[in-house]
Amino acid sequence: MTTASCASGDVTGAELPTGILEFLGIPFAAPPVGKLRFEPPVPHSPWPEPWDATKYGPTAPQPQGEGPMNEILPNRIAPGDEYLNLNVWTPTLDGAAPVMVFIHGGGFSTGSGSVSVYNGERFARDGVVLVTINYRLGPDGFLWVGDGVANLGLLDQIAALEWVRDNIAAFGGDPQQVTLFGESAGAMSVVSLMAMPRAQGLFHRAIAESGAGVSVISPRSAKKVAARLAALLGIRPTRSAISALPVDRVLAGASTVGEELTKRPFTTLWGEAGRNLMAFEPVVDGDILPGIPEDLIAAGAGHDIDLLIGTNSDEANLFFVPSGAVDRMPSIIASVFAWLYGARRPGTVRRYRRNRPGVSAGTLAAAILTDGFYRIPALRLAGLHPHAHVYEFAWKSGAFDGRLGACHAMELPFVFDTLDDPEAAAMLGGPAPQELATRMHAAWVRFAKTGDPGWPPFTAEQRTSMRFDVTSHLTEDERADERALWPSSRRKARIRA
């Protein structure tokens, strides 16, 4: 057992057999329940006795995932009010090591910082204090009906970063050397925080894995989602009416909204939420999030923050292969995805098909969705930032007879160097190269320590990227013919507060 002192009181963690110190389930804000349910996070009241930080705490309320995709994506759900908590792994309580704070993904509706694949022991082994966090999800974190405070989930993330600023020195970390990183919705959060005035100065480097600066919605779109949720719940679309209902009932309604949006993702019905395929996500409210993150970064926000950003080669396979949908897609879907995400030049689908001879209509559509939703926005953001580095993760899983490929979230056990975690086995689909995990994990550590992951920066003129695979190597404007089919700037469909 080992004890550290926080602003709210002492916390007692464990010393692992490797000598790494582990502190789990430390509250960074008061429980967001009762009168605090739809309010910004507030400090936790002091605890008189040492807090038991030897086991993971509760997780944010969320639906229990079902279906083939959820069977291969690890998650942990645990009930309890004290779910605004975080976990810390550190090599020692002394000194001032670089700090890395991880924001989990899950479409802003699922996930937790206590998934075992995110175990931070290997980061601590390599001289980094690693922190993982929880934040409010779904309606409780991102509902917007026009009253109260928007983006509570983002404010929770800021509260966790403020906790790091004020307390991490007691865990051997340097609050002036913080790298914020995240995957999927976590990466979208990272980029949003780069652009948010309230997060300024709380972190100094950023890593965005499979998420960039356009996955936000307007208040108009958010109100469309809220109105549909309220209709399903049989109440008026007000924050007070929704907050009066049990969390489980609201979650059930939110799941139905998500299913309806996925089946009919029309912007006429949902606004930008239809294009983003997420019912609850950050809202451009003009205050907490003053604009679209990509636009704000283009105008200079976050330029003092070192950036590492990248995507996986086959992101969209996760959404289509496990369910078998990849084999049922009509050929028109590829054109729909190309049009929806901005590649509207004649011949776009023909070019993608020519570069992938013999693939099915579903595989072709997945390739176009991967680029339109993930790869192109990431490259565009990197080109707008004065000191960005870019990567692509290309190792192909053996799962589903190799058809899963380098899908969404596949890089995570490599980044955390947790290939040996049983929870990662289903996604990896068999043996995975430890040499690749060692190399990728080392690049993340190096970036956190120096701002340089080990390869040249990316610019709009020299599009250098590191391709991580069994044999990793640098590329220069890879698949330039396909990149050129997409607009060089975001489609100017305005999102205003």
Paired sense of beta strands 306-312 and 205-209, if any? parallel
DSSP E strand boundaries for 278-436: 306-312, 388-393
Nearest Cα neighbor of 171 from 244, 213, 120, 136 is 120
Contacts with 414 (C-beta within 8 Å, 6 or more apart), sequence order:
393, 395, 432, 436, 437, 440, 441, 468
Q: Which two tokens stand for residue 2?
A: 């080992």
Q: Can you tell me the distance from the alpha carbon of 154 to that of 185, in angstroms, rounded to the nearest whole number?
A: 11
Q: Residues 195-199: contacts with CB within 8 Å, 24+ apart?
A: 195/289, 195/290, 195/291, 195/293, 195/296, 195/297, 195/301, 195/302, 196/154, 196/158, 196/288, 196/289, 196/290, 197/290, 198/155, 198/158, 198/288, 199/158, 199/161
Q: Can you tell me the distance from the alpha carbon of 178 to that of 185, in angstroms, rounded to the nearest whole number?
A: 20
User: Out of 8, 112, 114, 184, which one is annotated catalytic?
Assistant: 184
User: Out of 114, 408, 465, 472, which one is annotated catalytic?
Assistant: 408
Helices and strands counted in the chain (H then E): 20, 13
Q: Can you tell me the distance from the alpha carbon of 278 to that of 301, in angstroms, rounded to the nearest whole number?
A: 25
3-state class (DSSP) for residue 374: helix
Q: Can you tell me the distance from the alpha carbon of 421 to that of 131, in angstroms, rounded to the nearest whole number?
A: 18
Q: Is residue 5 among the annotated active site residues?
A: no
Residue 26, sorted as left (phi over 0), alpha (psi -120 to 50) or beta, turns out to be beta
Q: Is residue 387 among the annotated active site residues?
A: no
Q: Is residue 109 among the annotated active site residues?
A: no
Question: Would you give the DSSP letter of residue 370?
Answer: I
* AA letter at 60: A
Alpha-carbon 106 to chain mean position: 7
Distances (CA, A) of 485 to 154, 351, 365, 373: 33, 9, 15, 14
User: Out of 121, 183, 281, 315, which one is annotated catalytic?
Assistant: 315
Do the Cβ atoms of 193 and 158 come closer than 8 Å? yes
3-state class (DSSP) for residue 357: coil
Task: Give the number of other CB atoms < 10 A from CB of residue 187.
Answer: 27
Alpha-carbon 57 to chain mean position: 20
List, by residue number, the catalytic residues: 184, 315, 408
